[in-house]
Amino acid sequence: MVKNYWNDNYIIKDIEDYKIYSKHNSNDYLEVIINKIYQDYNLKKSITPSQPTQSSGINWGRRAIAVSDNAYVQPTQEEVQRVLEAVHMIRTLPEDQQRRLTEATREIRYFFDGQIRATFGGAGHFNAIRCLNDPTRTDVATPLSLRNTQLAGEEFFALNRFMLNYPDIADLQWWAVYQDGSWNLDTWNPEGEHLDTGFNGWGNLVGSVMKVNGKVLSPNEMLAFYRTMRLRNERNFIQPQTQDAIKTFLLAVDSQSRLPSRYDEQVETAIDLGLVGEDGKVLTYIGKSMITPVTARQRKQRQLTETNLEVRRIIVPTIFN
């Protein structure tokens, strides 16, 4: 099972106040440890996100013909049913939690979408975003017996390549059912589609569910993740030089370079973050994500061909156990 640092080592003492505490009680702990690695182990090569290709033009709202080789896998009706069974339905939650979950679903998507576009540019979203379905082709109105409902799914992948404050978060997948909205595909970029909304906007949230590094979040965990996300940015959980140092360390592990024994204690930090295995000698899926460029089409291909069951649980968006 992949460890989730934000979930395992952050303890929510009061879900109403969102008081989140660090396992080590100081963000300086990680920075000090990793800076030692950076200073003493002089591998300064830095992995940067793959650069977006130049767009041939700006999308001014014209609907383009969808490319035949999509970057997503349209789910079957059986898979859609699995998604609906995993969705946290708003009407079943207490009133105050309904409002907070609606806000968290919206703001988490806004936040990561904005961060990705700020990094790669408006035309380079395919370096870290892909849609998970075509909402206009996905029937959820029938099984839910709710008129004008749509299922929207989107994935943000390999986030820890470029997001400073999330070294332990590789992937986030979200599914949401909206009523009276107008979700559809924006297909103008041939490198991969993303979700867009028309005149009616998002609509009213009926229910949503998220996976972070393959872990399915409960409603309370979604709220906690939303708050943790904001606090990490506000408090600068990681500094740029620290991110570089982490990547340097992971490169050394990945290349099987021999580290001096004095670094044994520092390995514990990487283990806590879930970047290496318990022995500190093998990169985990999350650690690999941090130093491996990937695109939406490559992500789709891996979804179709991955044989490792643990990795499939993470990257296949319709697996919820």
DSSP string of 70-95, one letter each residue: -SS-PPPHHHHHHHHHHSEEGGGS-H
CA distance 72 to 295: 12
Task: Give the residue among 205, 203, 211 at the shortest CA–CA distance from 177.
Answer: 205
- Residue in 150, 158, 60 with CA at minimum distance from that of residue 112: 158
**Residues 19-60 pLDDT 10s:** 332 333 334 434 443 344 334 333 333 333 434 333 333 343
Mean per-residue pLDDT, 248-266:
76
Task: Give the per-residue pLDDT at 261.
Answer: 66
Structure confidence at residue 245 as a pLDDT band (50, 70, 90)? confident
Q: Are 276 and 253 in contact, with CB atoms under 8 Å apart?
A: yes
Against a cut of 0.75, is the pTM above it?
yes
CA distance 236 to 301: 35
- 220: number of Cβ within 10 Å: 14
C-alpha span between 103 and 18 (Å, rounded): 15
CA distance 201 to 209: 20
pLDDT in tens, 263-289: 666 677 788 899 999 888 899 999 999
Average pLDDT over residues 90-109: 95
Taking the CA of residue 176 as centre, how many other CA atoms within 13 Å lie in the half-sphere pointing to its CB? Answer: 27
* % of residues, the chain, pLDDT over 90: 63
Q: Is 44 exposed, middle or buried (0-12, 13-18, 19+ CB in 10 A)?
A: exposed
Asked if 207 contacts 105 with a C-beta cutoff of 8 angstroms, the reply is no
User: What pLDDT was estimated at residue 256?
Assistant: 82
| DSSP reduced 3-state for 43 | coil
Block residue for tokens 């609509």: 203
Predicted pLDDT of residue 200: 92
For the chain, which residues make up each domain, given as ranges? 5-47+70-315
Question: What residues contact 234, with CB distance under 8 A and at least 6 apart?
Answer: none
